A = this chain, B = another copy of it.
């Protein structure tokens, strides 16, 4: 009954097998390993982007930060939602790498609306040299609230950005979960709707720790390489990143894992809806649910062995009737039985 995070589950056995297979003899370091050649081709094929520059990096914070730094000047501002991971959960890493600032666009459900974006863009930089200049847009798919942008919604955002000469970065820490939920292709969810760069997540979906940075217009590729190295993010024994990503993509393993996580989440949502005390907050569309429940109920379920985060208060002390928000995340390894056990506990 572990629903605290999708970065707490194990790596998929096939990923681990690939690591072992890669651990044979000598291999040139720093991305010159032959497995990386395979990975580059895999990613380009998956994205239908034969010119794309492809790099591997150990986690989402690094992927986001180095990509954004390669797209942003220090006197600019990056547009993202108020709840964006790059704003809330990276301890100023994006600011460190970009040397710029973030402009926060309000959001009701984790998703940015084009009008809200436009308002903020127009609000910034009407001051010539005095204010920050417009940098890129960064959106998250699956959002931090478990919601998903439709392709049209992404298109509308990138079009708004492009109208002001801005590029778009997509934080895809849960890319696979969104993709399988939308049942579209990676190209359709990215460059075909105006996305310029992608943090393509593996870590939360069955890898040990690997993300691909995908740059559709390779003219910033060399800058990215230098920034990655300068951030200490170029691995010498790079083959162990390559091997993870190679196995992740092979035989649609990544899609299978995401589908499984999403299915468990749907099962959870269905159960929660049948529970009087619980109320789902945002329409869960991928592998993450936010729900409201009285403190006493949270306490009871947590005491019963469930593991998840209560976001806005201590479940143990305070008014037992006060509604608190819990977050449930399913990873690829969550079983149908695990979910059922949780729902049984919830229902009692």
Residue numbers of A with Cβ under 8 A of B are 2, 4-5, 7-11, 13, 16, 19-20, 23-30, 58-62, 65-66, 73-77, 88-93, 95-97, 99-102, 104, 127, 129-133, 203-204, 208-209, 223, 225-227, 229-237, 240, 307
Contact = CB atoms under 8 A, between A and B. Distances in A.
Contacts of A104: 104
B92 A132 contact: yes
A23 B5 contact: no
Contacts of A75: 91-92, 226-227, 229-230
Nearest to A65: B232
A91 B5 CA distance: 35
A197 to B, nearest CB: 16
Contacts of A88: 127, 130-131
A300 B204 CA distance: 49
Contact of A236 (B7, B23, B129, B236): B7
A129 B228 CA distance: 9
Contacts of A77: 92
B235 A209 contact: yes
Closest 3 CB pairs of A and B: A62-B232, A7-B236, A2-B26
A209 B75 CA distance: 24
Given A75-B226, A92-B75, A96-B74, A234 B129 contact: yes
A101 B102 contact: yes
A11 B229 contact: no
Contact of A240 (B27, B62, B208): B208
24 contacts: A7-B237, A10-B24, A11-B23, A11-B237, A13-B23, A16-B19, A16-B20, A19-B19, A59-B234, A66-B232, A73-B226, A74-B92, A75-B226, A77-B92, A89-B130, A89-B131, A90-B229, A92-B230, A95-B101, A99-B99, A129-B226, A130-B229, A209-B237, A233-B233
Contacts of A204: 236
> Which of A13, A25, A237 is packed against the most chain B CB atoms within 10 Å?
A237
Nearest to A207: B237
A93 B267 CA distance: 46
Nearest to A32: B8
